Structures are given as C-alpha cells and as structure tokens.
Amino acid sequence: MPSYVTEWTDKYFHQSAFDVPVNYPNKKVLKFLASFSKPKKVRLFRGINKYNKDNGAVASWTYNRQIAEGYAKDVGGKIIEKEFLFNQILLDTTLLTKKEKQQFGYDYKIDDKEVLILEI
C-alpha cells in the first residue's frame, strides 16, 4: 500500500471525524483509490448536522440508513438520501479487507459502512 495513499486516508479518517478540514486528495491518491469503488450506481445515506453540513471536497456517506440517523439525531439534523455514480466515489470501505482498513486508518470499533464521496 503506497504511503502517499495511507497518509491521506489516515488523516481523513482521524481528523475529519473531529471536524478538522482535510485537503482534497491529489491525482496519485485519486488514481489509486479508484479501484475501491463499485462500477455501478449506489444509493447512500448521510446524517447532516450543524457540524458536518459544509464538509468540503470529500464527504462521508453510508449504505446504512440507521447509521446516518445516528449522526443526524445527535444534534437535531436530518437524513439525506442520494444515488451516486461510481466516478463520484473516492473510496468504498465495504470493499476493503480487514488489513486494508487498518492500513488506511479505518480502524473504528464500529464499521459505519462508509463511502467517501467527491463533492467537487
């Protein structure tokens, strides 16, 4: 796993969870992560709240509506649902092995079935 990829993903998963902005991934990261998305449309959910409504270039979504509800209800937010094409997906964590999740820094105790969407 290239260090330029794991450095970006680890920073995203650990800093974005605490509302610290993370830079848009460079072309090398985008190209490498392109293999971690499904080649079809997917329907995803996002719990919007006052802390994450303006996430920037990359936003976290989930396949699981209940997970999105958890993010929304904690601070009186709302749930949004949307379809995305494969070229809008930066990384689908459901396609990762346990080892890849660890390498990318996706080492949470609860798996949010997270999908990183490119907002730009």
Whole domain around residue 113: which residue ranges?
Answer: 3-118
Q: What is the pTM of this model?
A: 0.86
Neighbouring C-beta atoms of residue 54, cutoff 10 Å: 10
Which pLDDT tens digit goes with each residue over 66-119?
A: 999 988 886 678 999 999 998 899 999 999 999 999 999 998 888 899 999 987
Q: Is 39 helix (H, G, I), strand (E, B) or coil?
A: coil
Q: What is the pLDDT of residues 25-50, one digit of tens each?
A: 999 999 999 888 888 899 999 988 76
Of 54, 33, 25, 49, which Cα lies nearest the Cα of 103? Answer: 33
pLDDT value at position 55?
A: 60
Number of structural domains in the chain: 1
Separation of alpha carbons 16 and 32, rounded Å: 20
Give the total residue count for the chain: 120
pLDDT at 119: 75
